[in-house]
Amino acid sequence: MANRVRFLHLADLHIGRGAGGFDEATAKKIREARFQALDNSLRLAADRQCDFIVIAGDLFDHNGVAREDAERVFNNLRGKSFPVYVLPGNHDPFRPGSVWSRPPWNNWRGTAIVLFDQRAPVPVRDGLTLYPVFARIVEGGLGVLSDLGRWAGSLAYVSVKAPRFAGQWFTVLFFAAVF
């Protein structure tokens, strides 16, 4: 089937998150399990012959993630045989001083990684475009979401405010598709 698209969607890996409340040996295993989840996902994408991967927010738990962790993830993604689209999330937003603006992530161009570092459509292939909306962009109407009807065969990640409880709000990243 010529128009078939196969991709793997990941989110909320939270690399670099602590594991408080556990002894050090257990905490180390928990932290390592996050890397293993990414490794297993990358193998699955290759085994299933995915056209690309989308990591839709919170690859890292925070922007102060250890450089070794940032490098380990970067080095694991950069040489893939398929593109890996990375959208910063609410825990690791794209802003000055973020993990995305420091080595090695500030040198992603020319690798398999495609970092959504600006709010602009990214063509994947004929008839398929990704439209990122960052977690920090939560005001100002529907924007990209309201335009999806014009873009048949498109994918978008959209950030909206949603009620949580007791009048509080939080940002939700969700996946929207029009085919």
> What pLDDT, on the 0 to 100 scale, is given for residue 139?
39
- For residue range 21-69, what is the model confidence (pLDDT) as tens digits? 889 999 899 999 999 999 999 999 999 999 999 998 899 999 999 999 9
Model confidence at 106: pLDDT above 60: yes
- Each domain of the chain, given as residue ranges in start order, spans 7-178
Residue 93 confidence (pLDDT): 86
Distances (CA, A) of 161 to 1, 31, 78, 139: 38, 30, 32, 8
Q: What is the mean pLDDT of residues 103-128?
A: 87
Q: Is 158's pLDDT higher than 50? A: no
Mean pLDDT rounded to a whole number for the chain: 78
Q: Domain 7-178 belongs to what topology? A: Purple Acid Phosphatase; chain A, domain 2 (3.60.21)
**pLDDT of 170 over the 80 cut:** no
**Own/partner pairs, 143-147, CB within 8 angstroms, 24+ separation:** 145/176
Q: Which residue has the higher pLDDT, 89 or 131?
A: 89
pLDDT at 129: 80
pLDDT at 104: 96
